[in-house]
Amino acid sequence: MHARFVVTAVATLIASGFAFPSTAHAQRPFKVHISADMEGIAGVVSPDQLGPTGFEYQRFREFMTAEVLAAIEGAREAGATEILVADSHGNGLNLLIERLPADVRVVRSWPRPLGMMEGIDSSFAAAIFIGYHSGTTNPAGVRAHTLSSANYAGVALNGVQVPEAGLNAAIAGYFGVPVALISGDDVAVGEARRLIGGVEAVAVKRAISFHSASTMTPPAAQALIKERVRAVLARRVDLRPYRITAPVRLDLTFKNYRPAEMLAYLSIVERTDAHSIRYTGRNVVEVSRFLQFVGAYEAGLSP
C-alpha cells in the first residue's frame, strides 16, 4: 500500500468524524445543552412574573438568567467545554444574554423544529432542564401545563401522557443524549423522575396550588443548582438516554373543539374524539415538528 494512500485514508477517517481511542477522550468537546423555562424558577407563582406585562417580570428575567448561569458554572466546574442555552419560555426572549459567558450560544424565539430542545444533536454529552413545570394532566404543580396553557388538555406519546420534560427528554434521547438534571417545583421534578428515571432533581419550591408555592430564595436556589449540576455531570457516565420506541404516536387533546376539527382535514391526522387528534411520526423529531406546526401556524401569518 502506498504511503500517500494511507495518509489520505487517515485524513478521510478523521474528516468523517472517526476518533482515535488514545486521544478521543482528551480532545472530544464536552457539550451541555440547557433548556430553560420560567414557571419553575424560584419565586415564580403567577403571571405577574411570567410575561412582559407582569409587574415583576423584569426582576424575574434576572432570576431566570441567574439560575441558568448557576447551571453553566456547575457544568464548567465538571469540565464542560461548550454550552448551548435554549430560551424556552413564552416569547423565547427572556434571558439577559449579556450576562452569560462570552462563549455560550443562545437559541431565541420561535418557531424552531426541536422546540425547547433546539440546538441539540448527538455531539452533546448531557441535557439540563432549568425552571420546568408539571404537565397539563397533573392535578398539582405551579402553572401546570404542557406546551400551551391556553390550548392543550393532553399530550401523549405512545399512549403515555408526558409533561414538557418527557417530550424533551425523548428528543434528547433520540440523539443519544441523557437528561442529567431538572429544576422546578417539587411536583414537576417528581413527575419527571418517575417518567425519565435516574435524573438529578432540584426542587426550588413546594407547590401549594396552581398560583402558590413555598419557595427558596433566588440565591439559595442558584447555589443548589450549581452544586447539583456539578455533581451529576461528574458522574455522567452513569446517565442513560431516555428513548421511546419508533414510530411515535402523538395523541393531542385540545381545550377547544375547532382545532381538532380543522387538523382532521389533513390525511396524516386522525380525529380520535371531539377534542383530540392522533398523528404518528417516524420518530420524535417528526412529532416535534408537527407540534411546532400545530402551535405556530395561522393562515394570516406575515411577513
Residues that bind Zn ion (CB under 5 A): 37
**Smaller CB distance to Zn ion: residue 37 or 200?**
37
CB of 131 to Zn ion, least distance (A): 8
CB of 196 to Zn ion, least distance (A): 16
- Helices 57-77, 218-234: axis angle to 10 degrees equals 30
Evaluate the CA torsion angle 282, 190, 180, 116 in order and state its sign.
positive
Tracing cell 420506541 back to the chain, one arrives at 245
CB of 67 to Zn ion, least distance (A): 15
CB of 164 to Zn ion, least distance (A): 5
CB of 80 to Zn ion, least distance (A): 24
Grid cell in block for residue 118: 433546539
Total residues found in the chain within this entry: 303
**Smaller CB distance to Zn ion: residue 116 or 233?**
116
**Smaller CB distance to Zn ion: residue 38 or 80?**
38
CB of 104 to Zn ion, least distance (A): 21
Grid cell in block for residue 301: 401569518
CB of 146 to Zn ion, least distance (A): 8
Nearest to 178 by CA among 248, 122, 125, 120: 125
**Smaller CB distance to Zn ion: residue 37 or 118?**
37
Grid cell in block for residue 247: 414510530
**Smaller CB distance to Zn ion: residue 41 or 284?**
41
Q: What is the H or E stretch that residue 156 is in?
A: strand 152-157
**Smaller CB distance to Zn ion: residue 134 or 222?**
134
Nearest to 142 by CA among 199, 92, 79, 185: 185
**Smaller CB distance to Zn ion: residue 146 or 253?**
146
Distance CA 131, CA 238 (A): 24
Q: What is the H or E stretch that residue 4 is in?
A: helix 3-15
Query: Which residue's Cβ lies closest to Zn ion?
Result: 37
Task: Note the helical H segments in 132-203.
Answer: 164-174, 186-196
CB of 51 to Zn ion, least distance (A): 12
Tracing cell 431565541 back to the chain, one arrives at 108
Q: What is the DSSP string of 248-296?
A: EEEEEEESSSHHHHHHTTSTT-EEEETTEEEEEESSHHHHHHHHHHHHH
**Smaller CB distance to Zn ion: residue 36 or 250?**
36
